[in-house]
Amino acid sequence: MTSPRPLRDRSTTLTRTAGPSARPRRRPAAIWLDAKTMRELGHQVVDAIAERLMRPWDATPILTAASPDELAARLAEPAPEDGRPFDELLRRLDRDVLPFMARNEHPGYFAYIPGSGTWPSALGDLIASGLNMDVGSWSLSSGPSQLELVVLDWFKRWIGYPSDAAGVLTSGGSAANMTALACAREAVVGAMSDR
């Protein structure tokens, strides 16, 4: 087995690759951040979200749309070769992306399905995304997988389903509807793997 190709020396942070004969290799500084920097960037994001959510209702329209041409003019560019300062990216996001969306949190927003999220759920998403949880396998994330089973048990009791009912948490309404249709199809015609 060949040793992994060493990365360019951009950092003094070392990590070990898998295997008993693995050599230490360096983490690229552009990807791996120290805890202080992670906290600083996280605070910038939280501050930006809180500022946007706390804007007075009459400060911006409930829905601001732009044409594909206008947004392409704002956003289209070649893929960058190097990273950019994070605060520059946040400013651009605030100027060129976020103004062109519905304010789901606005009390006058009555269109479409999604409502406003909650701050605790946003922080839960931050935890799940920040740790990149993979709940597709018990061996990879037994703690989060068990938490999913607990939440499903709550739903079963609230809805009145039997204790042996099963389910899964999905990413949203569209995935939930597709999952329900697939389950209904298999209940009527049998498992697709049999055909």
Q: How far apart are CA 13 and CA 170, in angstroms?
A: 37
125, 83 Cβ separation under 8 angstroms: no
pLDDT at position 8, please? 46
Hey, what are 163's tokens? 């204790």
3-state class (DSSP) for residue 134:
coil
Lowest mean pLDDT among 33-37, 57-61, 65-69, 175-179: 57-61
How does pLDDT run across 64-113, given as a tens digit for each residue?
A: 889 999 999 999 999 988 888 999 999 999 999 999 988 888 888 887 77
pLDDT at 7: 44
Structure confidence by residue, pLDDT tens digits, 19-40: 555 555 665 556 788 999 999 9
Tell me the CA distances in angstroms from 180 to 62, 130, 152, 187, one per residue in order. 32, 29, 15, 10
Give the global pTM: 0.68
